[in-house]
Amino acid sequence: MNNRRQQKRCSAVIGDLMQFSTSKTRATAEAWGKKHHPYKPLAKEFRSGGFMYRQIAREANLAIYEQSWTSGLNRSVCYEVIRIRRRDGFAVGDRFVEPAEVYPNSEAWGVDGFTMQHKDSAFAKLRRGFRGSLFLSDKCLTDSA
């Protein structure tokens, strides 16, 4: 009798299951839509304008890059706190440039990027985020954080 209740209960559960199609749709880039492309991540190390950049921290779309350069025997270091932006892919002639994360350009400096002289200041800026701040070096002129 106990076995009969289990059979009845199992058949009710099985009977309530929905029938799913056995053919699967393969995920493709077209299926993601325009705004959900996988973006090429920003390089963790790169050279630009005579400087060497190395990512030392990242939280979501904010990062700190150590900027270093060598002048003779002296090595100097600063820290750049940046908001990482994304750009969509685009065509150049018959070549397609993949969607990618991008480092702020010079026009975006002071909005999406800040240069700090001290590592502690850079990490403090990263923790605060970019809420309405305007920085010159390590001095904060206005900050609503």
pTM beyond 0.75: the answer is: no
Per the domain annotation, does 91 fall within a domain?
yes
> Strand ranges (DSSP E) for 1-110?
45-48, 51-59, 62-71, 74-83, 85-87, 90-92, 95-97, 100-102
Per the domain annotation, does 28 fall within a domain?
no
Residues of the chain with pLDDT under 70: 1-37, 131-145
Q: What is the pLDDT of residue 33?
A: 46
Q: What is the pLDDT of residue 14?
A: 42
Q: What is the pLDDT of residue 3?
A: 54
Phi, psi dihedrals of residue 103, rounded to the nearest 5°:
-80, 145
Q: What is the pLDDT of residue 44?
A: 97
Q: Which ranges in 2-145 belong to alpha helices (H)?
A: 2-16, 29-32, 119-128
Per the domain annotation, does 19 fall within a domain?
no
Domain count, the chain: 1
Per the domain annotation, does 125 fall within a domain?
yes
Per the domain annotation, does 12 fall within a domain?
no
Per the domain annotation, does 135 fall within a domain?
yes
Per the domain annotation, does 112 fall within a domain?
yes
* Separation of CA 63 from chain center: 8
Cα-only R_g, the chain: 26
Q: Any idea of the CA torsion for 81, 62, 46, 76, to the nearest 10 degrees?
A: 20
For 79, the domain range is 33-140
Q: What is the pLDDT of residue 144?
A: 35
Q: What 3-state DSSP class applies to 40?
A: strand
DSSP 18: P
Per the domain annotation, does 8 fall within a domain?
no
Q: What is the pLDDT of residue 47?
A: 93
For 70: left if phi > 0, alpha if psi spans -120 to 50, otherwise beta; the answer is: beta
Q: How far apart are the first and last CA of the chain?
A: 69
Q: What is the pLDDT of residue 95?
A: 96
